[in-house]
């Protein structure tokens, strides 16, 4: 008997929690299309996207499937592994957080070879992170770059607490670097109405995109129309991705 895949196990678990309730979220704010229980999912072999906007649409449709617990049956077996070992043609590069609750391929219901995923705590930028993003765009020719923040981000929360206490989080240079990198977003939303952490996460997404536009690789490609940049926010409570 074949063991169920991690995607099948996740689907079963979400269904047990009430897939019907989740399905009702798919057509709400954020642009995620609404799916009916009879929706036919595409095959594992996806056609190439025409441009960044079409790539973003594919991601959002995939997220709607994830929210509704209607994930497509992606081929993650030996044949698919062998196929992508010969070459890769991902359609999007995504910068996200290291948070274990935000598995980016699952959130967008994509499989082997579909996405270039770069992760750092809070989506903090350094030379390695920026270089990895540039690699996905320039070398693998992804027409879409998404910067994905998420609800209740621990890295931004730790930064808020460190700034409030007027001290670093620890005596390690690595963690101190994270605080220094994420601090501008926290300072930018000081005094703003609403949830402070949510505001900081979303501000950080915007600031990160601003920094990435200064890249000699990313900026010119966006201006030429060959690259589409999208700010986004993942809701832990619903599984929904909202475009900012």
Instruction: Supply the DSSP string of 114-173, one letter for each residue.
Output: TEEEEE-GGG---HHHHHHHHHHHHTS--SEEEEEEETT-HHHHHHHHHHHTTS-SSS-H
pLDDT tens digit sequence for 177-234: 999 999 999 999 999 999 999 999 999 999 999 999 999 999 999 999 999 999 999 9
Mean pLDDT of 98-113: 96
- Confidence label for 36 from pLDDT (cuts 50, 70 and 90): very low
Among 122, 61, 118, 128, smallest CA distance to 94 is for 118
From CA 179, how far away is CA 223, in angstroms rounded? 31
Among 212, 199, 211, smallest CA distance to 244 is for 199
pLDDT, position 52:
98
From CA 223, how far away is CA 216, in angstroms rounded? 11
pLDDT > 50? residue 80: yes
pLDDT tens digit sequence for 126-170: 999 999 999 999 999 999 999 999 999 999 999 999 999 986 555
Q: How many helices (H) and strands (E) does the chain have?
A: 9, 5
Show the tokens assigned to 212.
């990435």
pLDDT tens digit sequence for 39-70: 333 334 578 999 999 999 999 999 999 999 99
The pTM assigned to this predicted structure is 0.80
pLDDT, position 71:
85
CA torsion angle 235 151 109 89 (round to 10): 140
From CA 137, how far away is CA 218, in angstroms rounded? 8
- Confidence label for 26 from pLDDT (cuts 50, 70 and 90): very low
Helix (H) or strand (E) holding 22: helix 6-23
The DSSP output letter for 77 is S
From CA 232, how far away is CA 244, in angstroms rounded? 5
If one counts every other C-beta atom within 10 angstroms of the C-beta of residue 212, the result is: 22
pLDDT, position 22:
32
For residues 199 and 207, the answer to whether their CB atoms sit within 8 Å is no
β partners of residue 230: 146
From CA 72, how far away is CA 39, in angstroms rounded? 10
């Amino acid at each position: 008997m074949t063991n169920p895949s991690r995607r099948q196990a996740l689907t079963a678990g979400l269904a047990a929690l009430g897939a019907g309730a989740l399905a009702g979220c798919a057509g709400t704010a954020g642009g995620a299309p609404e799916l009916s229980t009879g929706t036919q999912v595409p095959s594992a072999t996806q056609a190439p996207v025409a441009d960044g906007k079409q790539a973003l649409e594919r991601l959002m449709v995939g997220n709607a499937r994830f929210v509704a617990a209607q994930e497509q049956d992606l081929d993650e077996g030996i044949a698919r592994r062998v196929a992508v070992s010969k070459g890769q043609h991902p359609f999007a590069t995504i910068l996200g957080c290291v948070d274990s609750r935000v598995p980016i391929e699952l959130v967008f219901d994509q499989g082997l070879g579909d996405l270039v995923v770069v992760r750092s705590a809070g989506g903090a930028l350094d030379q390695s992170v920026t270089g990895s993003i540039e690699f996905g765009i320039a070398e693998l020719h992804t027409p879409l770059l998404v910067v994905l923040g998420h609800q209740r981000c621990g890295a931004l929360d730790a930064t808020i607490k460190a700034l409030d206490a007027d001290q670093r989080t620890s005596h390690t240079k690595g963690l101190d670097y994270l605080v220094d990198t994420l601090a501008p977003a926290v300072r930018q939303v000081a005094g703003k109405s609403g949830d402070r952490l949510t505001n900081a996460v979303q501000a950080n997404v915007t600031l990160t995109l601003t920094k990435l536009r200064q890249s000699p690789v990313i900026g010119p490609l966006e201006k030429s129309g060959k690259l589409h940049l999208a700010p986004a926010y993942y809701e832990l409570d619903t599984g929904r991705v909202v475009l900012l």
